[in-house]
Structure 1
Amino acid sequence: MQPTAFLQALHATVRQLRATVETELTPLPDAVLNFKPRPDSWSVLECLEHLNRYCRYYHPALTKALAKPGASADDVRYSWLGRKSLDIVRPDNGQQHKTVKHMNPAGSQLSRAVLTEFLGHQAELLHLLTAARATDLNRRAVPVEFFRLLKLRTGETLEFVVRHEERHLQQAQRVAQLAQASAPVLAV
């Protein structure tokens, strides 16, 4: 895919994710936001805190990668690691995957500040996607969070962040629906 179309598609997805959080999740009562269908599953706030933790790592790494100028006229390409990473976080991939311990928010004391932080990260991500127009998306420049000797291409990383957010936002929506269906009292 051409870089311009690639970035426009990611930009549209992030705008939609942000709108979903603002319209569907932010209005929910705290009881719904903290509801867990099972003790070993995540609440809505834990899903978003997980994403916040990834943003805290990947946004500065992307900022650094995007500081190197050099637009690419080539289609966005994928390495083996990039394809594998994207396959794991694809929203339609129903397989569950364990997350690394420091990215797992289970058992954290969370408040609505998680929503505010997430929305701030989305504004920052939109800025990063705009800045990405002036860089080579095929440059290997972003260290993988859990093993920093490995690097993803800039474009792969941008897509990874967006697809990962799509996946966990869908998870958060499912949890919110379960909370409202299983205990109508929570929604009041």
Structure 2
Amino acid sequence: MDITTALFYVFSAVLLGASVRVITAKSTVHSALFLILAFFSASCVWMLLKAEFLAITLVLVYIGAVMVLFLFVVMMLDITSDRVRDGFWKHLPMAALVGVLIALEMAAILMPGFRLKEAPELSAAAAKLGNTKLLGIEVYTHYLYPLQIAAVLLLVAIIAAIALTLRRRKDSRSQDPSEQVKVKKADRLRIIKMAPTVEAPAAPAADNNTGAA
């Protein structure tokens, strides 16, 4: 067993252990941290498979952006998952059965793709391009239409998410920029001419020092 195979088994074991702890940890913050560990282990496995672009994308996008944002939300909102986990052990047998069936179906579909007698050898020119550039050429030439369809689906999902959050509430106050632009100076400031008022002089106080005759 060489060092690459040993590292593959180590990272795979860490990945499986972290994945189990994601759904079994009592704290939501701990689950998020174990998910970060699972992503990092998967990134290491991809590095061993010489998929450097996918590995660095997983670290930058999921660990560096998505999971950090998720941790901020969880820690700021103080979300408790006790009620969600009330029926966890009750539904565990059915969930495990469904998970095993899904794993078997994925294995039946994906395993034929790994049964290659000899891996195709790259030409010298293709080997000089590098993994990332070859991936970009493959995606934007042979898989251009699926890429565009995926982009349209993501755009529709973004618009749907924005539409769901734009529900108007009666107790909320908002500003209308179009109405603010139409406002003129006369609508905001009105000058009124008023006659000046002069206060009357105060009457002199009676002299109390004058004595009676």
Instruction: Give the structure-1-normalised TM-score.
Output: 0.25
Structure with greater helix percent = 2
Q: Which has the higher contact order (CA 8 A, sep 6+)?
A: 1
**Which structure has the bigger radius of gyration?**
2
